[in-house]
Structure 1
Amino acid sequence: MLIKYGWLVGVGLMLSVAGHAASFSCEKAKTQTEYAICEHRAVNDADVKMATTYRIVSRLVAMGTRSQIRDEQFRWLELRDRCGASVDCLTQVYNLRQQKLEDHLNQVYQRAPF
């Protein structure tokens, strides 16, 4: 029963992500960058993955590290917005941010017994 329930939750999560474009409302997109994220599936997927990883990391780290990660995120958003509508640039900055967040996540795994 637990396996079926887990499968059902996973399907529900996939459907909820598939029903939403990006980690923000594309109906409220205002900048070239936001429009590009909404219009290009690969960038959209990278945005959702990064935002999900950011939320997970933010909840797992200590308070001091949490503020550091939040500050990094604000600086990264400024960098991302400089890309404008360039899909190549957006792809690169999303890859960089995802890697940094995964580094934070790996540090959590190394420190905490699960």
Structure 2
Amino acid sequence: MRRTTFALAVLLVLAGGSAEAASFACDKAEAPDEKAICAHLPLNDRDVEMATRFEILKAVLPMGGQSKLREDQEIWLTERRTCAADVECLRNTYDARLKVLRGVLSEFAKQGPQ
């Protein structure tokens, strides 16, 4: 059952993706970090992957896990904002967050049906 839920969540998130490149509207970006993400395709790609993995995990984790995921995401967003327009800092921040999200998704998928 858990793998079915996981697979369904992945499909729904991927199918529901908008044509918007970043996880936010670039035409409304005002913060330096958001502007830099919109201006640099590799950062934009990381942002899309991060948002997709976050949404998948939000859909499949139990309630306590969802709360922790949201708290960690808020902390990460605060950290990302401190990078301002520093592309290297943003890249490193995204890479660290993606490593965590990939790991959580991988562990969740390994657990199999429960």
2:36 aligned with 1:36, yes or no?
Answer: yes
Alignment match, 1:49: 49
2:97 aligned with 1:97, yes or no?
Answer: yes
For 1:111 and 1:63, how far apart are their aligned partners in 2? 17
Between the two structures, name the one with larger relative contact order (CA 8 Å, sep ≥ 6). Answer: 2
Q: Deviations over 1:44-64 (max 9, x none)?
A: 010001000100011111110
Matched letter for residue 65 of structure 1: G
What aligned pairs does 1:45-84 form with structure 2 within 5 A after superposition? Answer: 45-84=45-84
| Alpha-carbon shift at residue 110 of structure 1 (Å) | 2.4
Question: Where in structure 2 are there 5+ consecutive unaligned residues?
Answer: 1-10
Question: Where in structure 1 are there 5+ consecutive unaligned residues?
Answer: 1-8
Q: Deviations over 1:62-100 (max 9, x none)?
A: 110110000000000000000010110110010111111
Matched letter for residue 89 of structure 1: C
For 1:112 and 1:65, how far apart are their aligned partners in 2? 17
Scaled by the length of structure 2, what TM-score is found?
0.81
Scaled by the length of structure 1, what TM-score is found?
0.81
Match of 1:58, SS state, is helix
Q: Percent identity?
A: 38
Matched letter for residue 81 of structure 2: D
Alignment match, 1:6: none
* Aligned residue-pair number: 101
Task: Return structure 1 stretches of 4+ with deviation > 6 angstroms.
Answer: none
CA-atom RMSD in angstroms: 2.0
